[in-house]
Structure 1
């Protein structure tokens, strides 16, 4: 497998998963500088000109959420993804696409300094609705975690959600609400998170 990335991309999201799956030595890391992402050579791999991008046996998987799902399923024996016939599979997938959809959309609008008034005017067409809805949803979920999203066993969904929460909090796109702390501290205590800078910063 080849993983195309660079240090300024969202590839860091994947590093904890690679450690949890114990497959770091099975993936060739290929650095693609930003100025080379839109050159013909790399566009043949990913026409979107984005990283990270995983290539496995000639199959190209772009989008962080897709790579996360693909790897957790490929190495299902590691227990980070519920099986297809597991009732928890639906909730597991929900978190993957919630992060990649509503949460990321909210973070992008906040980083662009889109006003709360503008968001409110367009809430019907936004995946997250409006800020209050998103916050209420996240608070409820954090309070229901037992201790992980799917119960007593950690899954790739926990790693994915926790990473994006901490990223958003670190860049002041989300407040560090009290309801978030037990879950974030739990995930942050895992060995796979020790090299993620904003996880270490927020837990000190």
Structure 2
């Protein structure tokens, strides 16, 4: 497999996943500078001109949440995703796509300086509604964590949510609420992120 990446991009979240799955040696990491992402050679692989992008034989997987889902299913024996017939599978997918959808949409809105008033006026058309609804969704989910989102066993959904929460808190997009701390601190103890400075810095 080949993973097209850039150290200053959301590709960073894939690397801890590779460690958790124990497949670092099975993936060739190809660093691609931003200026080359929109050249023909890379656009032939990913017409969006974005990273991360995973190539596994004839399969080209371009969205971060899709890469998470693809790899954890490909290596389902590693136990980092519920099996297809596991009742917890739906909850697992919910968190993966909440992060890729409503949470990312909110963060993008904040990064381009859309005001809270503008978001409130459009909340019925936004996947996250408004900031309070978004934060309440996360707080309720984490209040039920024991200690992970699906119970006693960590999944890729925990790693993915923690990544986006820490990223958002690092840039002051969302506050580091007390309700987040047990979950974040637990993920920070994982060997896969021990050497990720910015993840440990919050």
Aligned to 2:136: 136
Q: CA deviation at 1:47?
A: 0.6
Distance 1:112 1:51 in 2: 20
Distance in 1 (alpha carbons) for counterparts of 2:147 and 2:8: 32
Give the Cα–Cα distance (whole angstroms) in 1 for the partners of residues 132 and 183 of structure 2. Answer: 20
In structure 1, the gaps of 5 or more residues are: none
Query: 2:185 corresponds to which residue?
Result: 185
Q: Distance in 1 between matches of 2:37 and 2:86?
A: 39
**In the alignment, what sits opposite 2:106?**
106
CA RMSD of aligned residues (A): 0.7
Structure 1 runs of 4+ aligned residues shifted over 3 Å read none
Report how far residue 127 of structure 1 moved: 0.2
| Aligned equivalent of 2:124 | 124
Other-structure match for 1:27: 27
TM-score where L is the length of structure 1: 0.97
Distance 1:155 1:30 in 2: 26
Question: The residue matched to 1:183 in structure 2 has which SS?
Answer: helix
The equivalent of 1:159 in structure 2 is 159
Gaps spanning 5+ residues in structure 2: where?
A: none
Q: TM-score, with normalisation over the residues of structure 2? A: 0.98
Deviation at 1:196, TM superposition (A): 1.9
Matched ranges for 1:168-183 at <5 A: 168-183=168-183
Structure 1 CA distance, aligned partners of 2:99 and 2:118? Answer: 22
Aligned to 1:4: 4
Q: 1:175 offset after TM fit, Å? A: 0.0
Q: Within the alignment, does 1:94 sit opposite 2:94 as a pair?
A: yes
Q: What do residues 43-94 of structure 1 show as CA deviations (whole Å, max 9, x unaligned)?
A: 1100111111000012100010000100011111110000000000000000
SS in 1 for 2:201: helix
Offset, 1:197: 2.1
Which residue does 2:79 correspond to in 1? 79
Q: Distance in 2 between matches of 1:199 and 1:33?
A: 23
Aligned to 2:62: 62
